[in-house]
Structure 1
Amino acid sequence: MGSKAMDFDRARLAAPRLIWMGIQSQDLTSFPDSQQFQIPLTAPDVEKIGTLLQRPDITQNPHYRYELQRMLQTGHKVEIQCMCSADYANLNNYIDWKLAQLGL
């Protein structure tokens, strides 16, 4: 999605291909021990998701829309930085696992 403030420069900054490395809802059932990293949504989180779901760039992207709606359904989020708060091995294991899932 990027920064709305940098929208004016998007043509010059655009990448030809992006890979979502962040945690996705399907990772919560596939990645070992991922449940321990779930955090309940706060009222500001729910408000932000509602705002995002009204943006055209989100509504036109089925994957983004699904992920945000899934967060609302479960009432939880997972922040990648939480994976390394206790032990950096968690984050390293996730990145290795995610790259393997993507065939990279």
Structure 2
Amino acid sequence: MSALRKIYATLDLNRKTWNIERIEAIQGDIDSLMIAVQIVENGKQKNLIDYKPTFAVVLPGTVNYVIDDLHFSNEKMNEGYFEYTFVKEAFSVPGVYDT
């Protein structure tokens, strides 16, 4: 099953620019939100085949965190592209998340 919503993001490593829309989620959201990320270097695709993507977030107002490396689609890492489906634990605490 695919996510209901997909947010697109581009990160340029050399320019340190992160082009992404605001992410809004519902507490307890389960497998309905995905982020599709394109990593570039000076505007050119960055080969990420030797890297392992990992999602990490500190939950607002707590010292608890979520780390996940299982919910990635990484078939296009050689093109600098991957997708991540947020796990419900990532939105288990209400509040504003700052990344």
Give the TM bin, normalised by the shorter chain.
under 0.3
TM-score (norm 1): 0.26
Normalized per residue, which structure has more strand?
2
- Structure with higher Rg: it is 1
